[in-house]
Structure 1
Amino acid sequence: MSAAAGSPAAGRLWPLRHAPWILLIYATRSIAAFMVGSSFGALATRAIGGWPGGDAALLEPGGLMLSELVRLRMDSLLTLVTHAGLFAIAMVPVGMVTSTLLLVSLCDPRRVMLPETLARCGKHLGPTLVAYLVMTSFQVAIVWFFYMLAELLSLKLTSGLGVRGGDLAYGAIIGVSLIIVWLVSILHDVIRVAIVGRSLRTLPAMAAGWSIARRRWPELLAALWPRAAGAILVVLGSLLWLRHTGMSTSPRLALMALVQQVVAVSLVVLRASWLSRAAEIVGAGASDAVADEGLEYDQG
């Protein structure tokens, strides 16, 4: 990455030149969510469409209607979940393209024209896909390892701590695995930024990403945690609001749809803001590496 690309100007999120790619990510995610959600919505409508209050009954305290829906329509739900999983896998290449287009825009301080943006995106897709497969496989392996560890220790935990204590310890083990997966996802983002911002292949980008993550982990965490907290608050706030409204009337349906779109846009903007800051940190990390190499050369 050039010095210009690593400057604060490269990481500014708000110029309008980034907006098309943010909107593209939002649009593709919204279309995918609608295609998946409409199937589950149709199933819920067939099951309790005539119930007073509509599907708001699914969100009532105690979850009786929700548990009954799952029990009575388990086969249909499993089919829909399978189809949703396959559809999510099919959408991975689309997500790779849209996120890489955004990274190309974020990592370059210039106003890059569309043909150049598309060309650079195509150039980086191969290394980005390989990095995605490697890092995702690593994350799955982490979850699997901790899950198997929790299963192996479950009887000992229950006998030593009691049922409740054993469940808490089991959950703690799984929680540790999720924290590690989250940290790996940060490293994955840094690697992707290195691929796009510094035009590196997969292995050099992974080495550079690991080096930058070790050197600048306080900056990375400081940049990520407020954005992650904001995303969690946005999602939790919308879920709490949805719990008390449902979709029993047309005005509520329209308002719920509006809130969902605001949440979707907010999550994409927060994600883009994090990648923008990561691009700045990667640029600064590259400058540090060059300076260190120069110092070693002078001392030699």
Structure 2
Amino acid sequence: MNHAQGTIEDRPLARKRPGVVLLVYAFRLVAAFLLAWPFAVTLGGAVSGYPRGDAVLFDQGGLLLLEALRRSTGALRPSSASTLLLFVLVCFVSLLPLGALLGALGAKGRVAARDLGAWALRPLGTFSLLLGAAALIEALLGGVMIAIGNAFARRQTIDLRAADQVRVGFVAAAIILVLLVSVFHDIARAAAVRGELGMRASIKRAFAAVRSAPLALLAGWFWRAALGAVFLGAAVVLGSRIGVERKAQVFAAFLVHQASVLAVLFLRASWLAAALRHVDRVLPQTTNEPVVPVSLPASPADDDAEPPRAALPSAADPAEPPAPVDDLLAENPAKNPSTEAPSPLPVPADEKIVVEERLDA
């Protein structure tokens, strides 16, 4: 991954990027308001004449909610069609903050706005192809499993109770298959961002990551998904106890629900960081050490560094050949050892006296 700062986070963690997680939450909040706005306007108009307003829709039993839905059927049909198209558009637009989140999780140091934009746009094509392929596979697997369950349930040898149990079992199996495909989808996205890969290469790396540690991947996804379900369930229970009779209660219930959504989003960011760590095990290892040019001397602290090689002469600037040794000695005869007379060795004083005595004799 080529980050702007030239650094890569060795151990991605969600708690290191709370600001980016909040940005993704803000995008999802705006998208949820856009998707819910047509239904809120339609149902709110149906109960606008009641003194309590739309609070009657949340009464026990839901009778007024069902009646409002029945009376608003004509208005809900075009709203549902436009909302479905808007939902598909939001699914593809949401790939931008997802790419920014994955890129920020894999980076080290501060993150600038231009970095988020680059990380959001770079894998958009690969993310779109992966999203289309995953949606097609999930629809096929889910539809096939439900069709098989209905075929078994329609047998004459099975009573009504057993038929319902068979349908519920095959629907649960279809949901499990869809969840497994979504887990693999997230791993392929992490591989696409971490290695800057295309669709085929990211799928291959995702298969390699699954083969290397399948139980660790499933366990890491499962405990985060289970904890997120607990948060959402607790928010529903607590919000129902707060009530919606007054505006302050509605606002308090809204805060409780959004706190649970933010917690679930943080758990998802944690899962994506774990997927990045698993992908790192199967991607080729790269080094971040700077490359020292050949012409520059090595650092004195590096004892094992090779000495710099001498620069080779180029054709445009040929080096002069070295002069012969004889010419150099001829120019400096004083430094020529062959022309200098050997200096006599010093003779000890005792030997000089012995020689003189022999000469006198």
Q: TM-score band (shorter)?
A: 0.7 to 0.9
1:14 match: secondary structure: helix
SS of 2:158's equivalent? helix
Q: How far apart are residue 112 of structure 1 and its match?
A: 4.4
The aligned runs of 1:47-196 (5 Å cut-off) are 47-51=46-50, 54-156=53-155, 159-196=156-193
The equivalences for 1:148-297 within 5 A come to 148-156=147-155, 159-286=156-283
State the distance in 2 between where 1:78 and 1:245 align: 33
Identify the structure with the greater helix proportion: 1
Matched, 1:42 2:52: no
* Cα gap change, 1:114 to 1:32, in 2 (>3 Å): closer
| Cα distance, 1:23 vs structure 2 | 1.7
Specify the code of the residue in structure 2 equivalent to 1:272.
A
Aligned equivalents of 1:237, 1:78: Cα separation in 2: 33
Distance 1:235 1:57 in 2: 23
TM-score, length basis structure 2 = 0.71
Q: Would the alpha carbon gap of residues 119 and 262 (structure 1) be closer, same or farther in structure 2, given more than 3 Å must change?
A: same
Q: Deviations over 1:171-220 (max 9, x none)?
A: 11111011001011000000000000111111011011012112211111
Offset from partner CA, 1:133-168 (integer Å, 9 cap, x none): 111211111112123223333311xx3332222112
Count residues with an aligned counterpart: 281
Return the structure number with greater relative CO, CA threshold 8 A, min gap 6: 1
**CA RMSD, 1 decimal:** 2.4
Identical-residue share of aligned pairs (%)? 23
The one-letter code of the counterpart of 2:237 is L
**Aligned partners of 1:21 and 1:139: how far apart in 2?**
29
Unpaired runs of 5+ in structure 2?
286-361
2:29 maps to amino acid: S
Q: Post-superposition, which runs of at least 4 consecutive aligned residues in structure 1 deviate over 6 A?
A: none
Change (3 A) 1:248 1:43: farther
Say which one has the larger Rg. Answer: 2
Tell me the distance in 1 between the aligned counterparts of 2:63 and 2:190: 46
- DSSP-derived class of the 1:160 partner: coil
Aligned equivalents of 2:13, 2:213: Cα separation in 1: 20
Structure 1 contact 6–282 (Cα < 8 Å) conserved: no
TM-score (structure 1 length as normaliser)? 0.84
For structure 1, the 5+ residue unaligned runs are 289-300
Cα separation, 2, equivalents of 1:199 and 1:110:
20
Contact 1:13 1:276 in 2 (8 A): yes
Structure 1 62/268 Cα, relative in aligned 2: closer, same or farther at 3 Å? same
Alpha-carbon distance in structure 1 between the residues aligned to 2:65 and 2:162: 28
Task: Give 1:44 deviation, angstroms.
Answer: 2.6
Deviation per CA, 1:199-257, whole angstroms, max 9, x where unpaired?
A: 11110110110121122111112211221112111211222233344422111111122
Distance of aligned partners of 1:108 and 1:169 in 2 relative to their CA distance in 1, 3 Å threshold: same
Contact conserved, 2:145 with 2:174, CA < 8 A, in 1? yes
